[in-house]
Structure 1
Amino acid sequence: MKKAFITGVTGQDGAYLAQLLLEKGYEVHGGVRRISHPELPRLEKLGVADKVHLHEFDLSDPYNIIRAVNAVQPDEFYNLAAQSFVGASWDLPIYTADVDAMGVVRILDALRTNSPKTRFYQASTSEMFGLVQEVPQLETTRLYPRSPYGVAKVYGHYITMNYRESFGMHASSGILFNHESPLRGKEFVTRKITLGLAALAHGGTDPIELGNMDARRDWGFAGDYVEGMWRMLQQDEADDYVLATNTTTTIRDFFTYAAEAMWMDLDWRGEGENETAIDRKTGKLVMRVNPKFYRPAEVDLLIGDPTKAKKKLGWTATVDIRQLAEMMAKSDYDALA
């Protein structure tokens, strides 16, 4: 039986990946910061919380990482843990760098010296492209991050490549574009939208406040993307891959699709800081722009080209943006019922 270790196992991606690996017959181990009080709602929602072996794990502590590696000796190691909220990285730049950048090299060095045959997956991100240098973005596109989060992830990406080339490690990075699900954290814009719309559909009156409605993202379903992670580590040779839908959508359009799933008919009014959305059926204000949610440096357009992943991994996204928005909105609506 293969053994896998997942950092960030209690998060959206970690939960879906744990479910996938268990279905494939793996013994799954996961790292949590406090094993005495682990937060497992996502694993519980997927029905796998009691099947994952939990270990106390801290990306800031190299000795803790070494102990976990030695205890498990995993066949595959998936590093999904991160300070992953872009907005918070402006308030916590040093912490973000320590976890998202230095945490990666701590794991890689622990594996190199203690379990060199372990195959390693690093969760890279489309936020590394930032001020995009070409459209769509490929594995070879120049990186130009626009946040402390993006900068830290660039280091994690390149140090993974460096350990692969310098030490012959099977270390791959997945450059994943935005991927969402009903398990997405409430602080992320897609979930903020679907939670707010679900509350409004249940009779709530508080409009949702958002920032740049013209920002465009390539959004897919997290359940599809963890399949791509696993496929990367099944290859004979390690490499880096973009996982994306190759379709870009504005925040405004995502909001519209989710609102339609909540039986709303939106009337968009105004521009910029004065933009609002009103439900024609009820006359209720459902969205207004609040400049405090603007980023200091915006990433305006992200769209990935997953051709390499399709050709080499046989991977493709199966859920489109309308299906994703509906899935998330209805899940939040049902949870409030």
Structure 2
Amino acid sequence: MARALITGVTGQDGLYLSELLLSKGYEVYGLMRGQNNPKRALVEAIVPDVKILTGDLTDLSSLIRALEISRPDEVYNLGAISFVAYSWENAALTSDVTGRGVLNALEAVRLYTHDDPSKVRFYQASSSEMFGKVQAVPQSENTLLWPRSPYGVAKVFGHYMTINYRESYGMHASSGILFNHESPRRGPEFVTRKVSQAVARISLGIDDSVTLGNLDARRDWGFAGDYVEAMWRMLQQDEADDYVISTNETHSIRELLELAFAEVGIDDWAPYVKQDPRYMRPAEVDLLIGDSTKARTKLGWEPKVHFPGLVSMMVQSDLAEQKKLAGL
């Protein structure tokens, strides 16, 4: 039986990846911060077969201990402070967890494996936010990185550290440069879930508006459930490498609003949407669109859920949840 250790198991990616690996017969361990983590119950409810370990990406000894207990064949480092807006307010903490945490995870694997660093395969969750002030459209594995947030800078550090450990120690360490990927499990602070939740509440008469920032920002949005399969496929390759994972399409916040409100029968969404400068980024990333040709060619991966279906899935999920909460 293959064994895997997932950091960041409480996030949407961690949950979908856990489901995928369990379906493939893996023994799955999930690393979680703190003994009283409020998301522990969520993990136990959705993926009860995951064995939960406590640890922290900023604590090297806890990572080594987790490796000794789980004895994994594969490590998926998904743990991070991942909300971009938060990273400006807490740049140092973001750097420690999202950046230096990758170094700790890599070093823990190196120390654990002793004389054969390649025997544990390592996945690093890199991000399209590393492209920031984009230097080419679309963005591929060879596009110059120009991050525009503390989160993006921290991800660049982790990305290059993964490459460095691969080249220095022969580790089977791959990075997935994932473009925005969403799902009904996305946190409500992220714009897609903020919109789907607000649309559900507005349609039920619970709220009368939603407040957003830049409506013209464009992103390449895919479904998180599709993207975790790409992570797994990377670690099944003979050679480690880096891959852009994307839909190769770009959509604006306005398009997101149009589809989401249409899902509940509202054609004119403008009266329900407010803008506030507080939700504008200090340095905006205006256009992100990936070129996932390499992943499609070498990994045989391609997205199954496209943008309209993703938006519909999220709105319908939030409608069901809000109706249940409201007793409707």
When normalised by structure 1's length, the TM-score is 0.93
Instruction: Give matches, 1:261-272, under 5 Å.
Output: 261-266=263-268
**Structure 2: which 5+ residue stretches go unaligned?**
324-328
In the alignment, structure 1 residue 309 sits paired with structure 2 residue 307: no
Q: Deviations over 1:189-217 (max 9, x none)?
A: 00000110100011123310000000000
Q: Are the counterparts in 1 of residues 215 and 254 from structure 2 also a CA contact under 8 Å?
A: yes
Query: One-letter code of the match for 1:240?
Result: D
Q: Distance in 1 between the 2:176 and 2:264 partners? A: 33
The aligned residue for residue 272 of structure 1 is: none
1:324 to 292, 310, 320: 310
Query: One-letter code of the match for 1:306?
Result: S
Q: Distance in 2 between the 1:84 and 1:24 partners? A: 27
Q: Distance in 2 between the 1:185 and 1:44 partners? A: 18
Superposed CA RMSD in Å reads 1.1
1:193 to 170, 192, 195: 195
The aligned residue for residue 259 of structure 2 is: 257
The aligned residue for residue 273 of structure 1 is: none
Q: Distance in 2 between the 1:114 and 1:76 partners? A: 13
Q: Are the counterparts in 2 of residues 243 and 309 from structure 1 also a CA contact under 8 Å?
A: yes
The aligned residue for residue 101 of structure 2 is: 103
Q: Deviations over 1:257-301 (max 9, x none)?
A: 11111111115xxxxxxxxx12xxxxxxx1011111000000000
Q: Are the counterparts in 2 of residues 35 and 54 from structure 1 also a CA contact under 8 Å?
A: no
Q: 1:151 to 1:37 in 2, by over 3 A?
A: closer
Query: One-letter code of the match for 1:336?
Result: Q
Q: Are the counterparts in 1 of residues 128 and 177 from structure 2 also a CA contact under 8 Å?
A: yes
What's the offset of the Cα at 1:139? 0.3
Q: Distance in 1 between the 2:223 and 2:265 partners? A: 22
Query: One-letter code of the match for 1:187?
Result: E
When normalised by structure 2's length, the TM-score is 0.95
The aligned residue for residue 226 of structure 2 is: 224
Runs of 4+ with >6 A deviation: none
Query: One-letter code of the match for 2:34?
Result: R
Q: Distance in 2 between the 1:37 and 1:205 partners? A: 30
Q: Distance in 2 between the 1:230 and 1:243 partners? A: 12
Q: Are the counterparts in 2 of residues 217 and 248 from structure 1 also a CA contact under 8 Å?
A: yes
In the alignment, structure 1 residue 73 sits paired with structure 2 residue 75: no
Q: Deviations over 1:144-176 (max 9, x none)?
A: 000000000000000000000110000000000
Q: Deviations over 1:30-63 (max 9, x none)?
A: 0011234451465356x32x20000001011111
Q: Distance in 2 between the 1:205 and 1:227 partners? A: 36
Q: Distance in 2 between the 1:314 and 1:63 partners? A: 37
Q: Are the counterparts in 2 of residues 172 and 232 from structure 1 also a CA contact under 8 Å?
A: yes
Q: 1:42 to 1:137 in 2, by over 3 A?
A: farther
Q: Are the counterparts in 2 of residues 12 and 42 from structure 1 also a CA contact under 8 Å?
A: no
Instruction: Give matches, 1:94-243, under 5 Å.
Output: 94-115=92-113, 116=117, 117-243=119-245
Q: 1:263 to 1:308 in 2, by over 3 A?
A: same
The aligned residue for residue 34 of structure 2 is: 34
Q: Are the counterparts in 1 of residues 76 and 123 from structure 2 also a CA contact under 8 Å?
A: yes
What's the offset of the Cα at 1:101? 0.8
Q: 1:131 to 1:41 in 2, by over 3 A?
A: farther
In the alignment, structure 1 residue 19 sits paired with structure 2 residue 6: no
Q: Distance in 2 between the 1:315 and 1:155 partners? A: 26
The aligned residue for residue 62 of structure 2 is: 64
Q: Distance in 2 between the 1:39 and 1:334 partners? A: 21
The aligned residue for residue 319 of structure 2 is: 333
Q: Distance in 2 between the 1:296 and 1:8 partners? A: 27
% identical equivalent positions: 57
Partner SS state of residue 22, structure 1: helix
Q: Are the counterparts in 1 of residues 3 and 27 from structure 2 also a CA contact under 8 Å?
A: yes
